[in-house]
Amino acid sequence: MLRQLNDVDHRLPLLGETAIGAISQIEDLFTLTHIIEISDAVKLSAAQRGIDKRAPFHRQRNGIDDAILIEVYGDKVREKTPGGTRFAFVTHNTKDFSHPSGNNKLPHPDFADYFSRSRSLYFTTLGEALRRVQPLQFADLMIEQEWLEEPRRLTEIADAIDELCTKIWYNRHQVRREQIEAGKIKIVEKETFPVKNHFKRPIQRDVWEGALKSAAKVEKKYGRENLGPWDDFEWGMLNGKLSALRWVLGDEWDMLDT
């Protein structure tokens, strides 16, 4: 049985307590397996798939990793093995490996010849595969049912960061606006440096006019009612979310520049 090692690891933080035992069972099972070396013949077969535009290259993407994976599997299936030996290919990646227009529990026609009714099986869930291969040991396995929360896509995270950053900037803009209206900060035609007090430094007129236009665009996009004012708890939540999402994408903690 082949798998991509990072699949279970990536989902592990999303599992409920009831699934942790199942994961341990699965990890113990894989400790008994051996590492399969990738031969040059397999690499050539995978590259040929790309040239021929056969799955997993059918979706206008670089599918070389997936192509090597399926070719390694096919290579092992073709080997002479003792009677009763069975193989199983397990993947959640139905877009690249499953039938594109039929039942996604069936393999893509481009490598359907690697599978059969009994000796070489195709699965789209790990639980189903384990229950088929060892029904008594894994009869109560409910791991797929525990994976209810999918990780956010990169575009979703980036959009959330952009919204949080904009709202935090808008709040700081409003604070600066109140200080200008109260006479605590002056509008000048041209800033001079150095400035002794950064927090009360004057603002150049053209810069401030640009900030007012930007604020108007923010109000139009999100609605004035969705831009505060926020109490201390809400303000902390906004900044905490921004810090956490930026950290996920590689920034240091507490990077709150807007």
**Other CB atoms within 10 Å distance of the CB of residue 181:** 9
Buried b (16+ CB within 10 A) or exposed e, 42-81: beebbeebeeeebbbbbeeeebeebbbbbbbbbbbbeeee
Q: What are phi and psi of 188, to 5 degrees?
A: -125, 160
* Residue 1 confidence (pLDDT): 41
More confident residue, 25 or 256: 256
More confident residue, 93 or 16: 93
Contacts of 5 (CB under 8 A, 6+ apart): none
Buried b (16+ CB within 10 A) or exposed e, 133-157: beeeebeebebeebbeeeeeeeeee
Least-confidence region, from 14-23, 72-81, 235-244: 14-23
| pLDDT per residue as tens digits for the range 114-167 | 999 889 999 998 888 888 877 776 666 655 544 445 677 788 888 899 999 999
* Residue 17 confidence (pLDDT): 54
Mean of the per-residue pLDDT values of the chain: 82
Task: Answer whether the bond into residue 100 is a cis peptide, omega within 30°.
Answer: no
DSSP character at residue 119: S
Question: If you average pLDDT over residues 11-16, what whole number do you get?
Answer: 49
**Which one, of 94, 74, 66, lies nearest residue 4 by Cα?**
66
Token pair in block for residue 191: 């800033």
- Is pTM beyond 0.85? Reply is no
Residue 196 has pLDDT above 80, yes or no: no
Least-confidence region, from 29-33, 105-109, 214-218, 220-224: 29-33
Residue 3 has pLDDT above 60, yes or no: no
* Residue 141 confidence (pLDDT): 60
Burial class (CB in 10 A: 0-12, 13-18, 19+), 94: middle
d(CA 73, CA 54): 16
Work out the pLDDT band at 198, boundaries 50, 70, 90. low
Residue 175 has pLDDT above 80, yes or no: yes
d(CA 135, CA 139): 5
Contact between residue 99 and residue 109 where contact means Cβ atoms under 8 Å apart: yes
Residue 182 has pLDDT above 60, yes or no: yes
Q: What are phi and psi of 43, to 5 degrees?
A: -60, -40
Contacts of 199 (CB under 8 A, 6+ apart): none
Question: If you average pLDDT over residues 202-231, what whole number do you get?
Answer: 90
* Residue 75 confidence (pLDDT): 94
Residue 249 has pLDDT above 50, yes or no: yes
* Residue 136 confidence (pLDDT): 72
More confident residue, 24 or 55: 55
Work out the pLDDT band at 37, boundaries 50, 70, 90. confident
**Which one, of 207, 150, 224, 212, lies nearest residue 177 by Cα?**
212
Question: If you average pLDDT over residues 77-99, what whole number do you get?
Answer: 91
Question: If you average pLDDT over residues 164-186, what whole number do you get?
Answer: 91
